[in-house]
Structure formats: structure tokens, C-alpha cells
Amino acid sequence: MKTKWQPLVAIAVLMAGCGTNPTPGSEATNHIGDPEDMTAGYVMEMTESSVILDLSPAHQKYVQEELEQDFTDMMLRTLEVEITDELDFIDRDGAPIDPEIIEEGDRLRLDFDMADYDATESPVEMDFLVYDPKSDEEIIAEHSPSEEGYHLAIVYSDDDNMENVDEQEVEKLMQSDNLLQVYYLHTSEEKPATNFKNVFDLDTTPAFVVLDSNGVVNTAGSIEEVENSINQ
């Protein structure tokens, strides 16, 4: 089945008072280091007491780059971080953020060495977690095909009139050998990680975004326009 419904939904809403967030110019702000040098984890689950991160990509990177091994097993590596009064949620500049904006799938960076990873020692305590959502370019790349052909992203919001998004017409379109994948992407202005309207630079929604291996090909206003794009 090609279709993927992909609204990213927050697992739980955090209390805004969690953590003793640093103020700009504080020691924590000035000494977090370069986020690019930190371990990247992806939010799997979040509650008022902890956040569970998927460290599998970080493990694979560690095995390939540090251990210089080509093969790594496919086991899921997770790390549970306790949400304590000492834990700060900050952005890449070290400024405090509201934890409520964090969603399932978001990237958080942490000062953690994968060489020390031990699943039996979870949960752990941290001084800070860096909120580092994926760039627009990364999100577009994730929705673009890695082979010859096209992907279609149908971007919509709760307020949209979906009359021109005929599911039967979409299913018929999916019979084309040129169309490899269809995504239904729910856009939200309140959540940076799922503000697909901004990511794809759309004036209005619903919109049909056609992508190939190089990224966005064009934005169509109808199924007919999409068909012309993928079959030209």
C-alpha cells in the first residue's frame, strides 16, 4: 500500500513548568557546545515524567564511523530520559523552549556518548535536551523518492475544504507506475515540525506537491495537474 497518513501527533502535553530553563547569557546557555557534535535522538514517547528517545540512527553512525564496521544489527536502541527539575529544554542557541511544542518524531540532541550506551541503565538523568527540529530541506528529502519516479504529498489542514481531494481519483492515480508513494500530510502552524505549509512554501491548502529524487518538482492545484506532471 503506497499511501501514508502522516500527521505527527504529540504523545502527551508536558507541563510548561518542567525544568529550570536557563536564561540567555547563563552558564548553561553559553556552554552547551555545538549541537552538531551531540548525539541525536528521536522522540518516541513523552510523558510528564520522562521522554523516550530512539537512538538507533546514532548507534548505526557510531558503529560505522567510530568502530569502522560496515554492519550493524537492526535492534531498536532506546534511551529514557527522566524529566526532573534539573532538566532544561533548550534550542540550538541555548535559549529555553516550551516543552509543549515537542512532538513524536522530533529530534532532540543530548550530551551522550554512544560508547557508553547500555539499555539496562535506562532511565538516565540529563542536564539539558536540545530541541533541534529537522530543517525544511531534511523534511523535503524524507518525502522525496530515492529512485526514478515521483512521490505525491497532499498537504491539508483542519480548516480545508477537501472537495478537490477525491480519494477515488487519488487511488486511480496510484495505479501509475511513475507514482511510487502518496503522503497525506496534516499541516499545523502551532507545531514547527509539522508546518508543512511553510516547509513546501505553499500559499494555500489543500495542495498537491509532486516530488522527485531532487526534491519538489511543482505544486499542483488538482489531481489532473498531478497526472500531467508524473506522466509527461
pLDDT tens string 38-65:
999 999 999 999 999 999 888 888 887 8
- CB atoms under 10 Å from CB of 181, counted, come to 17
- The backbone torsions φ and ψ at residue 130, rounded to the nearest 5 degrees and listed phi first, read -100, 120
pLDDT digits (tens, 9 = 90+) for 74-84: 688 999 999 99
- The backbone torsions φ and ψ at residue 72, rounded to the nearest 5 degrees and listed phi first, read -135, 145
Has residue 103 got a pLDDT over 80?
yes
Say which residues have a Cβ less than 8 Å from residue 122's Cβ, sequence separation at least 6: 78, 79, 80
Mean pLDDT of the chain: 83
The predicted pLDDT at position 70 comes to: 61
Segment among 22-31, 64-73, 113-122, 215-224 with least mean pLDDT = 22-31
- The backbone torsions φ and ψ at residue 147, rounded to the nearest 5 degrees and listed phi first, read -130, 175
Distance CA(219)–CA(221), nearest Å, equals: 7
The model's pTM is 0.61
Instruction: Decide which of 36 and 191 is more confident.
Output: 36
- The backbone torsions φ and ψ at residue 203, rounded to the nearest 5 degrees and listed phi first, read -80, -35
Q: Do 114 and 72 meet the contact criterion of CB atoms below 8 Å apart? A: no
Q: Do 112 and 104 meet the contact criterion of CB atoms below 8 Å apart? A: no
Domains with residue ranges and CATH for the chain: 27-131 (no CATH), 137-230 (3.40.30.10)
Reported in sequence order, the residue ranges of the chain that DSSP labels E, i.e. its strands, are 3-5, 39-46, 50-54, 78-82, 88-90, 107-110, 128-131, 150-156, 179-186, 207-212, 215-220
Has residue 73 got a pLDDT over 90?
no
Mean pLDDT of 141-163: 90
Residue 72: pLDDT band with limits 50, 70, 90: low
Has residue 219 got a pLDDT over 60?
yes
The predicted pLDDT at position 160 comes to: 83
pLDDT digits (tens, 9 = 90+) for 203-216: 999 999 999 999 99
Instruction: Decide which of 70 and 13 is more confident.
Output: 70
Give 142: exposed, middle or buried? Use CB within 10 Å, 0-12, 13-18, 19+. Answer: exposed
Q: Do 44 and 55 meet the contact criterion of CB atoms below 8 Å apart? A: no
